[in-house]
Structure 1
Amino acid sequence: MRGGTLKTLRTSPLALTVIAAVIALVFSVIITSVVLSISGFNPPSVFQAMIDFGLEPDSVVNTLNRSSTYYLAAIAVAIGFRMNLFNIGVDGQYRLGAMLAAAVGGAFALPPVIHQVVIILVAMAVGGMWAGIAGLLKVTRGVSEVISTIMLNFIATGIVAFLLHEDRLATQVAGSNNIGTEPIASSGRVPGIPYPGAGLEIYGLVLLAVAVGVGFHVMINRTRFGFDLRATGLSSSAAVAGGVDARRMVVAAMLISGMAAGLIGMPQLLGSSYSYGLDFPGGLGFIGIGIALLGRNNPVGIAFAALLWAFLDQSSQILEFNEIPKEIVAITQAAVLLSVVVVYEIVRRLGLRWQQQAVAAELAAGSAKRSKEVAA
């Protein structure tokens, strides 16, 4: 029984993933503790203060809200990763999609549900179109998606800056120096989910993030399209030999990745800000890359990684009150990301070795059994 449990532990991909994550987290805590000690701070006290603050009701709500956008960003990146594509342009796709969706949503007053659906579809269409450009450049001109998506990020930034002007799509926000698109009417807003004791609401579109995660899992693991996508990512030549149109899969993967990227800003846009302004968060696409790597491109793993990342961001706010640099959290996040990549590779190799040993043992047992039967 004990041997069977050990064998299962050694060969289970989920078990190996959990072991790698725990080791990486412990390693990152050790690194952060060393940095804190060198800086003259008491690591246990710092960690305790972060945990206490992070578990307060307000912090829990903010963590869940942040994690919903982080999760969508990581899923957008993970779709490309499963195809062996590096979509660095998620940030540009998200911001362009959010800005144009906000402009469309603020320009019209439609019936509830229809209004919300229109805004979400516009964001998805814009994000998908922007990512699709990189896909077309790759299959028609051989341009690396890394280069094209980086360039498209800069172009998207310029377009957003150009359109977000009072003479074009923006207006002055009352009571501040900020400018933004016309506010979305109440018919286009998504009600929040009340959190007991916090006086705040969790974004209603947290449920959208859950649906996207489920859809990603089903698409990748339960459909022919997902099989073709994974096969093309592993070996495009083998996929072509098996009848898969690799060029079409590249474009399709980039389109779907961009559509997911377009959803990143929807929880905040329809749940709290109701307008795209200069203060709308940026850099979420790059955060998504780290979270996708940390979650191993698995929707469940990404969910835990997004929650961890959001918790660290939220709990870091207490550090300034204790005169501790917030950059400590950035060190922790970087240590987690770096260590998890290294540890995952080590554990992957160990898992492969254990699997080979298990197969060899089974073959030896089978050979011994056949020898006994022959002798008998």
Structure 2
Amino acid sequence: MSLSPRSFDKDKVILAVAAPLLAIVAAIAITSVIIAAAGNDPLHAYQVMVDFGSKSDSQVWIINKATPYYLSALAVAIGFRMNLFNIGVDGQYRIAAFFAAVVGGALTLPGIVQIPLIILVAMLVGAVWAGIAGILKTTRGVSEVISTIMLNAIGASVIGYFLQEGRLAKKEGNLIHTPYLPDSAHFFEFPTTPKPVYGFVVIAALAGLAYWFVLGRTRFGFDLRTVGRSESAAQAGGVSVKRMVITSMLLSGAVAGLVGMPTLLGVSYNYGTDFPTGIGFTGIAIALLGRNHPVGMALGALLWAFLDRTGTQLEFEGYAQEIVGMIQGVIVLCVVIAYEIVRRYGLKTQQRKVGEELAAQARTSDKAEVSA
């Protein structure tokens, strides 16, 4: 008795579909109970969210909002694939966007040079800031969780020091910001109605494709995943664990540097006190939600943006302001639990089938010996 490749693939597909379905059903059930306990109608809440989210202006808003979410999730996922918890994406993208804005605002070059230069500066600054945590981990044994949290605070202080009138910023009304980027640094937009979709969504898609190829189809990606699963096995295979730790942190920081670019190059055109914060922490949740898969994280980013958008409408309908945050937390929790349940079930099923196959082979061998 042996398992055919077709039956094995079928079981694999079933398990892959079962996890998200279980998570969705559980999340809807738990959320409905909580909404009902608060004295509101959960079905009406879902109807409001679907109706408002399906409008054309909401769809454009969701795509634009999901773009930095997705880039943040990619940055986090690079660390996750190697069992590193880069909790410093928030600080990395903010300090990267700040210095990219300073450099971009000080130069006036053709767009074909200006835009890549700004993006390159952001990626370099993000990589250097994340690389500090990698060096501390490999040379002094400092946990990347602790060092990246501290670097978030240090980065905010550095920005606060330079983001002052007379230093690297100027005051305009009640806002303090870096000099405006020249027109040549404005990223292109898709002419959608009623508002345009930011062209940086293309960069985000290319980053996702590069993530999939490098981590899933190259020797470097294989080594990175091997270190994440077993450092001792990787060392036995000739992989330098320290070098992989530093490299993965540099890559994670470089991608983190892209997170602020949709806003800098497509919305604000400067870095000011009102620049978006907290996207890095949202990326952690989305990476968990998408299970570090580029397509899964894209869907997770769209879902997160959808909840952000429709949550404002729920407030007008009399629902509590915290309802959206609760829904997001429940979804992430259900996804993590559901995938773990399905993983354990799949492992037990595979072990049982292997045991049955070995038992069948043993019986066949015994019959052959008796016949002989």
Report TM bin, short chain.
over 0.9
**2:179 maps to 1:182:** yes
Q: Which amino acid aligns with 1:168?
A: R
- Structure 1 Cα separation of the partners of residues 80 and 93 of structure 2: 17
Moved more, 322-331 or 357-366: 357-366
Shift in alpha-carbon separation, 1:43–1:360, aligned structure 2, 3 A? same
Partner of 1:145: 144
1:268 aligns with 2:267: no
Quick one: distance in 2 between partners of 1:58 and 1:367?
65
- Which letter does structure 2 place at the counterpart of 1:340? V
Q: Which moved more, 1:348-357 or 1:85-94?
A: 348-357
Q: 2-side partners of 1:291 and 1:250: how far apart?
A: 22
Superposed structure 1 runs of 4+ greater than 6 Å apart: 3-6
Residues 4, 30 of structure 1: alpha-carbon distance in 2 compared, 3 angstrom cutoff: farther
Between 1:91-100 and 1:235-244, the stretch displaced more is: 235-244
* Aligned partner of residue 111 in structure 2, secondary structure: coil
- Matched-pair identity in %: 52
Q: Does the 8 Å contact 1:203/1:268 carry over to 2?
A: no
2:163 maps to what in 1? 164
Q: Distance in 2 between matches of 1:301 and 1:215?
A: 15
CA contact (8 A) 1:10 1:351 kept: no
CA RMSD of superposed structures (Å): 1.9
Give the CA deviation at 1:359: 2.2
Residue-pair matches, total: 369
8 Å contact 1:79–1:256 — kept in the other structure?
Answer: yes
1:344, 1:191 → 2: CA distance? 39
Give the equivalent residue in structure 2 for 1:76: 75
Q: Report the equivalent of 1:258.
A: 253
Alpha-carbon shift at residue 10 of structure 1 (Å): 6.6
Cα distance change of structure 1 residues 138 and 283 upon mapping to structure 2, 3 Å threshold: same
Contact 1:10 1:355 (8 Å CA) reproduced:
no
On the 8 A contact 1:191/1:204 being kept in 2, the answer is yes
Structure 2 portions without partners, runs of 5+: none
Query: Shift of residue 16 of structure 1?
Result: 2.5
Residues 75, 292 of structure 1: 8 Å contact kept: yes
Residue 354 of structure 1 and its aligned partner are, at CA, apart by 1.4
In 2, Cα distance between equivalents of 1:16 and 1:161: 49
1:36-95 per-residue CA deviation (whole Å, 9 max, x = no partner) reads 112211111111001111111111011111111111000100000111111011100010
Alignment of 1:269-348 (within 5 A): 269-348=264-343
Number of the residue aligned with 2:191: 194
The match for 1:122 is 121
Aligned to 1:350: 345
Partner SS for 2:170: strand
Aligned-residue offset at 1:9 = 6.7
User: What amino acid does structure 2 have at the position aligned with 1:259?
Assistant: A
TM-score by length of 1: 0.93
Secondary structure of the residue that 1:86 maps to in structure 2? coil
- Distance in 2 (CA, whole Å) between partners of 1:179 and 1:57 is 34
Write the distance in 2 (CA, Å) between the matches of 1:46 and 1:25.
16
Q: Which residue identity is paired with 2:106?
A: A
User: How far apart, CA to CA, are the structure 2 residues paired with 1:16 and 1:194?
Assistant: 41
Residue aligning to 2:102: 103
- The CA deviation at 1:131 is 0.3
Using the alignment, how far apart are the partners of 1:218 and 1:72 within structure 2?
A: 16
Q: Does residue 49 in structure 1 map to residue 48 in structure 2?
A: yes
Give the letter aligned to residue 322 of structure 1.
E
Read off the aligned partner of 2:243 and give its amino acid letter: R
Could you say which residue in structure 2 is the equivalent of 1:236?
231
- The equivalent residue for 1:37 is 36
Q: Name the counterpart of 1:87.
A: 86
